[in-house]
Amino acid sequence: MSASTISYPLALRLLDDGDGERYIQAELRYSATDPLAVTAVFDTTAREPVPWVFARDLLSAGLDDASGQGDINVWPAMDQHGTPTVRLRLRSPDGDAVLEAPATAVEDFLIQTWALVPTGIEGRLLSIDAVLDSLLDRT
């Protein structure tokens, strides 16, 4: 990764009704070229890695309060040992999953992103032409 990107590997606990603990390996990614977004790439054994893109502000807000609507929700919680965590609920036509990450890991990742692109200056880094090209699929 370059100096304008951050890659943060972590294991997320899958919360389901099954017995035992299941973990999914993931990587949080952030790039100054897309300063409003975070990409979470989930390593699945059944198929290719699965990326989810969502707002950095959504992840940040989820450290303290429930945030998000629709496909992605993030909220603070405690694990079975009383350790602060962040839960992510991801919904798609293929299914619904609730994942849990240590709050300290999520906060550490966000601190790195804020050091790269402080909150409030993201708009200065956006190219309106690139945004329009991506929205209109003009390449």
pLDDT in tens, the chain (139 residues): 457 899 999 999 999 876 668 899 999 999 988 888 999 999 977 778 889 999 999 999 999 999 998 899 999 999 989 999 999 999 988 889 999 999 999 999 999 999 988 886 666 555 555 555 655 665 4
Residue-level pLDDT at 137: 63
Q: What is the pLDDT of residue 30?
A: 94
- Could you tell me the pTM of the whole model? 0.83
CA distance 53 to 134: 14
Structural domain count of the chain: 1
Range of the domain at 34: 5-137
- What is the C-alpha separation between 40 and 27, in angstroms, rounded? 6
Predicted confidence at residue 107, as pLDDT, reads 97
| pLDDT score, position 44 | 75
Indicate if the alpha-carbon torsion angle 129, 67, 59, 16 is positive or negative. Answer: negative
What CATH number should be reported for the domain holding residue 45?
Answer: 2.30.31.20
- What is the rounded CA–CA span in Å between residue 75 and residue 87? 5
Q: How far lies 110's CA from each of 19, 32, 52, 63, in Å?
A: 32, 13, 17, 10
The pair of structure tokens assigned to 11 is 């294991």
Which residues are registered as beta bridge partners of 75? Answer: 87
Q: How high is the pLDDT of residue 130?
A: 55
